[in-house]
Amino acid sequence: MIRNFFKITFRYIARQKVFTFINITGLAIGLAASLLILLWIQDELSYDRFHKNADNIYRVEEDQFYSGEIYHVTVTPHPSGPVWQEKIPEIIDQTRVNRLNRILFRYDDKVFFESSVSAVDTGFFSVFTFPLVAGDPADALRRPNSIVLTEELAARYFGDTNPVGKTLTLDNRYVFTVTGVMKDLPRNSMFSFDALVPYSLLKEIGAINDSWGSNSIFTFVQVSSGADIAEVDKKLTDIVREYLPEGTTNYMLFPLKDIHLHSQFGFRHTNGPVTVIWIFASVALFILLIAGINFINLSTAKAATRAREISIKKVTGAGQKTLIIQFMLESMLMVAFSMLLSLVIVGLLLNLFNNISGKEFILADLFSVNFIAGFLVTGILTGIISGIYPAFYMASLKPVAILKGESMQGKGNGRLRQSLVVLQFTLSILIAMSAVFMYRQLNFMRTKDLGFDKEDLIAIPMPDDMKGRYYSLKSELASDPLIMGVTASAWNPVMLGSNSGGASWDGKDPEKSVLIGVNAVDYDYMSTMKMQLAAGRDFSREFTGDMARDTTGNFMVNEEVVKIMDQGDAVGKRFRFMGLNGTIVGVMRDFHFKGADQAIEPMAFALADTSFLGTILIRLTPGRTKESLEAVETAWGNLVPEFPLQYTFVSEDYNDLFRSDNRLTSLLKYFTILALIIASLGLYGLSSYSAERRTNEIGIRKVMGASSTAVVITMVKEFLWLVVISLIIALPAGWLIVNNLLKQFPYRINADILVFVLISAGALLVAGVTISFQAYRATRINPAEALKIE
């Protein structure tokens, strides 16, 4: 019997080539898109789960309180980790992680700046599972001047030779011995270091602050299985109170496995990146639904062509169960073909998908257990859901009615198909609306006026050993007509990340606690950055009191500081912050220093010498970038020949803040196009069937004098009004979805009605062209030939 089922199925598929092609292709495209999203989601959910003790590893985080507001941070005081491990029995091990500034590595004639070096405690390799291919993880970081490299970094300096035992010179003064080589970090790790050094190095270079009120390093702990996390949180806080009785900060554990998708920072608490997972999971489900709807619609529409086959089988004794099995088998077989084709499509598109998404998937990932399981579950569920209704519908046809020649185009069946067309176009339009507005929002953030000119501006990290030559370099560059400005600051202007409490001013409410960002700058900062003053003056060499010295120095602040001071004009007001006592001499207009996707926070600037400066900022001549850079390289080579010149364009640094958002928006754009293609494919199939079913009607209309245009309009109206209904449903739903998506951004575009109108017009155009093409083809038939068709 099974053999006969297969024979009948293959014969039917062979006879219905167009129907089969549309069904299999549409479903394959939908499955391929969903499988690519599945691959991406599985990768996002896999972050940091490869560690042996992942279930028991936590990062210590804290809630700071400022006038009733909670500011959540993920860093802790330097001395906390070892003390917590000593005093809290539930903590088995701990390790602190401190990412270092750019360090100069030297081995023979190979000299490079490395930006991915972290200082960690000796317990790092017992807490985390990062295998070593050379060296012993138990003592690789126990000696003060030991260093562990990744395979990639080891190959850069030592080639194919075993580097263990060899030495590297760091910053031209520290000699480190390579004690281990670690496998390159997995792509699904929250860490991004290329080298590890002992935490004790921080003390040697003066980078440790033993204050319990200063937070600047990550602390990870491994707790015992079954530990009461709430109790551990309380102990963390209580212990810090012992060392800082006046503190109000609360400490808590945050699971390692949740950091990638749920991490929080700052005043604004959002759902985190996990929201993106839900968005793409919804897109995958919508695309599968659209593809499945095509399958159901075309299968039920074709039922009439098989009416005689079904009735003869029933009359000769075939039961309903047998027919259901046959039709389900046909559906599952076509789904199986679609699944195989979808795998081929995924394989062909994998490199393109990697380029768009920023992932590094390889063909072997398609054979992983998780992906195969997801692939089979998706395919089987799609097959069952898509095939079950057509199977029951066709098996339920009445043989007597069929043999009498009665029409099988029941109203219920026709209305179901119409409802499904409405549903699939509604889903397609909703995806399109979300994609268009997310793209416009991202473009708005990329191009928004930041309050300074980020174009033609380069940032050069300044090593400690060259700070004594900074002013000479600045003087030489300033005399070059190709250089429009030179200054320096503690931070890259789009990466300002240091803030502190404790600011005070005359008349401040003693109950008011505020958090203010801080940046140290050189003269000419505002002019080089092309910033604007809202009030007062810039730092000036004419006022010696501007420079920060010991406990005195003047300030410039942004408009947000003026708002929280709430005293009108802030210029001339006494201001005390970060150990400095001085006066506010100027107010800068607010500028974005964390990206336009985040609210501008209060920021204070102090004029400082080179010991507090870490980044040189140089403005190049617009339109003469190459010549300007050559001038910088010449001056650098003359004054700082022992250090390689490495710079970044501030505009590119700013765009990097949105790199992941750019990729996600691109993915959403392509999946939107696929959804529309699949929906249009289904509409094409249905209009093709409609034209085939109405061949006699078309012939009669043409004989009676109807023009081809009139016939096309009649056929187009049959389907186009379904798209109009889709729009009536999708527009209010899309308005709600888009507004909720935009709410997560502090600076956002408006949900422009015109965009909704254009998307609606686009949907109508796509549907209209699809139907019109098939309708026009139908009108090309000779009326005499049409009337011969029985």
Q: Average pLDDT of 763-767?
A: 82
Q: Predicted confidence band at 152 (pLDDT cuts at 50, 70, 90)?
A: very high
Q: Predicted confidence band at 410 (pLDDT cuts at 50, 70, 90)?
A: very low
Q: Predicted confidence band at 776 (pLDDT cuts at 50, 70, 90)?
A: low
> What is d(CA 59, CA 47) in angstroms, rounded to the nearest whole number?
14
For the ranges 12-21, 239-248, 466-475, which has the lowest average pLDDT?
12-21
| Residue 226 falls inside a structural domain | yes
Query: Residue 548: helix, strand or coil by DSSP?
Result: coil
Q: Rounded to the nearest 5 degrees, what angle is found at the Cα of 697, between the Cα atoms of 691 and 703?
A: 120
Q: Average pLDDT of 530-554?
A: 93
What confidence score (pLDDT) does residue 553 get?
93
Structure tokens at 94: 């701990």
Q: Which residue has the higher pLDDT, 86 or 601?
A: 86
Q: Predicted confidence band at 428 (pLDDT cuts at 50, 70, 90)?
A: confident
Q: Identify the top-confidence range among 139-143, 565-569, 584-588.
A: 584-588
Q: Predicted confidence band at 521 (pLDDT cuts at 50, 70, 90)?
A: very high
For the ranges 202-206, 622-626, 786-790, which has the lowest average pLDDT?
786-790
End residue of a domain, out of 593, 611, 642: 642
Q: Which residue has the higher pLDDT, 65 or 239?
A: 239
Q: Identify the top-confidence range among 299-313, 368-382, 601-615.
A: 601-615
Domain containing 102 equals 56-262
Q: Which residues, 6+ apart, have CB-to-CB distance to 564 below 8 Å?
A: 512, 514, 516, 602
Structure tokens at 303: 């039922």
pLDDT digits (tens, 9 = 90+) for 348-402: 999 988 888 888 888 888 888 888 888 888 888 877 777 777 667 666 666 655 5
What confidence score (pLDDT) does residue 23 get?
78
> What is d(CA 688, CA 774) in angstroms, rounded to the nearest whole number?
6
Backbone angles phi, psi at 454, to 5 degrees: -85, -10
For the ranges 12-16, 200-204, 760-764, which has the lowest average pLDDT?
12-16
Q: Which residues pair with 58 in a beta bridge?
A: 221, 255
Give the residue ranges of DSSP H helices in 597-658: 625-639, 650-656
**Packing angle of the helix pair 17-45, 659-693 (nearest 10 deg):** 160
Contact 239, 88 (CB under 8 A): yes
How many structural domains comprise the chain?
2
Query: What are the CA-CA distances from residue 516 to residues 54, 240, 282 (Å)?
Result: 35, 23, 40
Q: Rounded to the nearest 5 degrees, what angle is found at the Cα of 610, between the Cα atoms of 605 and 613?
A: 50
Q: Which residue has the higher pLDDT, 118 or 360?
A: 118
- In SS3 terms, 271-287 reads as CCCHHHHHHHHHHHHHH
Q: Average pLDDT of 772-781?
A: 66
What confidence score (pLDDT) does residue 783 get?
59
| Residue 274 falls inside a structural domain | no
Handedness of CA 282, 336, 17, 413 (dihedral sign): negative
Check pLDDT > 60 for residue 304: no
pLDDT digits (tens, 9 = 90+) for 333-349: 888 888 899 999 999 99
Q: Predicted confidence band at 1 (pLDDT cuts at 50, 70, 90)?
A: low
Ramachandran region, residue 623 (left: φ > 0; alpha: ψ -120 to 50; beta: rest) = left
End residue of a domain, out of 642, 657, 679: 642
Q: Predicted confidence band at 277 (pLDDT cuts at 50, 70, 90)?
A: confident
> What is d(CA 762, CA 308) in angstroms, rounded to the nearest whole number?
41
Structure tokens at 581: 């006592």
End residue of a domain, out of 202, 231, 262: 262
Contact 584, 457 (CB under 8 A): no
Contact 681, 774 (CB under 8 A): no
Contact 163, 157 (CB under 8 A): yes
Q: Predicted confidence band at 633 (pLDDT cuts at 50, 70, 90)?
A: very high
| Residue 239 falls inside a structural domain | yes
What confidence score (pLDDT) does residue 708 get?
62
pLDDT digits (tens, 9 = 90+) for 475-491: 999 999 999 999 999 98
> What is d(CA 409, CA 412) in angstroms, rounded to the nearest whole number?
9
What confidence score (pLDDT) does residue 534 get?
94
Q: Which residue has the higher pLDDT, 400 or 48?
A: 48
Check pLDDT > 60 for residue 570: yes
| Residue 520 falls inside a structural domain | yes
Listed residue (286, 296, 373) closest to 331, CA to CA: 296
What confidence score (pLDDT) does residue 316 get?
63
Query: Residue 184: helix, strand or coil by DSSP?
Result: coil
Q: Average pLDDT of 483-512?
A: 87
Listed residue (48, 50, 91) closest to 229, CA to CA: 91
What confidence score (pLDDT) does residue 365 get?
87
What confidence score (pLDDT) does residue 131 get?
94
Q: Which helix (DSSP H) or strand (DSSP E) does residue 106 occupy?
A: strand 103-107
What confidence score (pLDDT) does residue 741 get?
82
> What is d(CA 31, CA 291) in angstroms, rounded to the nearest whole number?
8
**Packing angle of the helix pair 708-742, 695-703 (nearest 10 deg):** 130
Q: Predicted confidence band at 194 (pLDDT cuts at 50, 70, 90)?
A: very high
Prediction pTM value = 0.81
Listed residue (682, 710, 701) closest to 771, CA to CA: 682
Q: Predicted confidence band at 411 (pLDDT cuts at 50, 70, 90)?
A: very low
| Residue 51 falls inside a structural domain | no
> What is d(CA 715, CA 769) in angstroms, rounded to the nearest whole number?
12
Ramachandran region, residue 204 (left: φ > 0; alpha: ψ -120 to 50; beta: rest) = alpha
Q: Predicted confidence band at 184 (pLDDT cuts at 50, 70, 90)?
A: very high
Structure tokens at 494: 């789009």
For the ranges 77-86, 166-175, 394-403, which has the lowest average pLDDT?
394-403
Q: Predicted confidence band at 243 (pLDDT cuts at 50, 70, 90)?
A: very high
Q: Which residues, 6+ apart, have CB-to-CB distance to 614 below 8 Å?
A: 101, 461, 462, 488, 489, 490, 491
What confidence score (pLDDT) does residue 782 get?
58
Q: Within 10 Å of residue 579's Cβ, how many Cβ atoms? A: 12
What confidence score (pLDDT) does residue 233 get?
95
What confidence score (pLDDT) does residue 690 get?
63
Structure tokens at 264: 């929080």
Query: What are the CA-CA distances from residue 725 to residues 128, 662, 787 (Å)?
Result: 55, 33, 34
| Residue 497 falls inside a structural domain | yes
For the ranges 502-506, 507-511, 576-580, which has the lowest average pLDDT?
507-511
> What is d(CA 258, CA 46) in angstroms, rounded to the nearest whole number?
10
Q: What mean pLDDT is reported for the chain?
A: 84
Q: Identify the top-confidence range among 90-94, 310-314, 673-677, 719-723.
A: 90-94
| Residue 312 falls inside a structural domain | no
Structure tokens at 580: 């400095």
| Residue 439 falls inside a structural domain | no
Q: Which residue has the higher pLDDT, 382 or 785?
A: 382
For the ranges 14-28, 554-568, 753-767, which has the lowest average pLDDT?
14-28
What confidence score (pLDDT) does residue 770 get?
76
Query: What are the CA-CA distances from residue 267 to residues 22, 318, 445 (Å)?
Result: 52, 69, 20
Using the structure block, give the residue that is written with the tokens 């006494």.
574
Check pLDDT > 80 for residue 299: no
What confidence score (pLDDT) does residue 765 get?
84
For the ranges 160-164, 301-305, 670-674, which has the lowest average pLDDT?
301-305
Q: Within 10 Å of residue 297's Cβ, how many Cβ atoms? A: 24
